[in-house]
Amino acid sequence: MKMETFLHIDTCPIRDIVSRLGDKWSLLVLATLHANGTMRFNDIHKSIGDVSQRMLTVTLRSLEADGLISRKIYAEVPPRVEYRLTESGNELMPYLNNLVEWALKHSGNIIQNRREYTNKMDK
């Protein structure tokens, strides 16, 4: 049997994508846009709640750079900016939804296991 390796030779697509989606806010932004459709910055901020404006800006820019969301600026005063999932972002959502469903299904068990592990390690 041949062993699979994931050596970091150049750009490892698995590391690259997982690091982007594995940060604290990207999944929440993607899920929020998927659930609500096109949204303005303040609406995304209110929907997520505990993300700082600076961190939300960084996250939105990163997701836009990856082509997962798009930003549209309207020439109005004050300027109106809207964000939405791109085709690529929409294609990603069934996989993320599976992950979210799995997390919801198993979160109670995982939290309990963490408590038991911490208690065992404290003894």
pLDDT, one tens digit per residue, over 24-43 is 899 999 999 999 999 999 99
Beta strands 39-40 and 69-74 are unpaired
User: Is the pLDDT confidence value at 5 over 70?
Assistant: no
Residue 52: its pLDDT value, please?
96
User: Is the pLDDT confidence value at 14 over 90?
Assistant: no
Whole-structure pTM value = 0.80
3-state secondary structure 20-63: HHCCCCHHHHHHHHHHHCCEEHHHHHHHHCCCCHHHHHHHHHHH
Class of domain 13-122: mainly alpha
User: Is the pLDDT confidence value at 51 over 70?
Assistant: yes
The whole-angstrom separation of Cα 72 and Cα 83 is 6
Residue recorded with tokens 């997520």 = 48
Domain assignments of the chain as residue spans, ordered by start: 13-122
pLDDT, one tens digit per residue, over 78-123 is 889 999 999 999 999 999 999 889 988 999 999 999 999 999 888 8
For the segment 10-25, the average pLDDT, to the nearest whole number, is 80
Residue 17: its pLDDT value, please?
82
For the segment 10-29, the average pLDDT, to the nearest whole number, is 83
Residue 4: its pLDDT value, please?
67
